[in-house]
Amino acid sequence: KGIKIGATVFIRRSNDVIPEILGIAEELDGKDVPVPETCPACGAELYENGAHIFCPNEYGCKPQVCGRIEHFCSKGCMDIDGVSDKTIERLYDTLGVRSVTDLYFLDEEGLSKIDGFKEKKISNFLASVENSKQVKLGSFINALGIPNVGRKTAEDLAESFKSIDALAAADAQSLLEIDEVGEIVAGSIVAFFEKHGEIVER
């Protein structure tokens, strides 16, 4: 939008939440906003896709890994109790957790190495992980973090396909038959399962 550092801008609440810059109200002699070239967390070379800049290091970039695990464990997803952002960082740093699937292979011995994890907390955590295997299909689809797929769309997909295997095998055309799914969402779903099918299977 041609905005420079120091400019005064028009802003609104998009979707009643997100601040969105509409345009420039007053141009000042400011600096261009520098486009980052490397990820500030892991140093990987960034790439642009549309209006967004991404780090490609999905399983070696700590904030990405921890963010996916936090989403996966949240209510409306797998609903795993006792997983704060600090706990997730400790799982990453101490036990080498790099994928949401790693949560299902943690044991009492490993968890005892994490600060603050005593016998009762370990027992509760492992029970919550075990209980998460019983969540509804819509919650599981939501937990996967498929780009452009939120909770409502995840529930619609579950209602239409009835199983994760059927959804994973779906092509774009069959996905487009669902009312809330357009071409971008359908493309995101197909691409996700092509790229992450092994994780879903595991």
What is the pLDDT, as a whole number, of residue 18?
86
What is the pLDDT, as a whole number, of residue 137?
96
What is the pLDDT, as a whole number, of residue 7?
87
- Which residue, among 43, 30, 41, 36, has the nearest Cα to 3 in the 3D structure? 30
> What secondary structure letter does DSSP report for 120?
H
Residues of the chain with pLDDT under 70: none
- Here the tokens at position 21 are 């810059």
What is the pLDDT, as a whole number, of residue 115?
85
- Here the tokens at position 159 are 């209602």
Q: Tell me the residue type at 163.
A: S
What is the pLDDT, as a whole number, of residue 42?
95
What is the pLDDT, as a whole number, of residue 51?
83
DSSP H or E stretch at residue 13: strand 8-14
Handedness of CA 51, 54, 56, 58 (dihedral sign): negative
What is the pLDDT, as a whole number, of residue 84?
87
What is the pLDDT, as a whole number, of residue 98?
92
What is the pLDDT, as a whole number, of residue 134?
95
What is the pLDDT, as a whole number, of residue 41?
96
State the virtual CA torsion across 129, 133, 139, 143 in degrees, nearest 10.
50
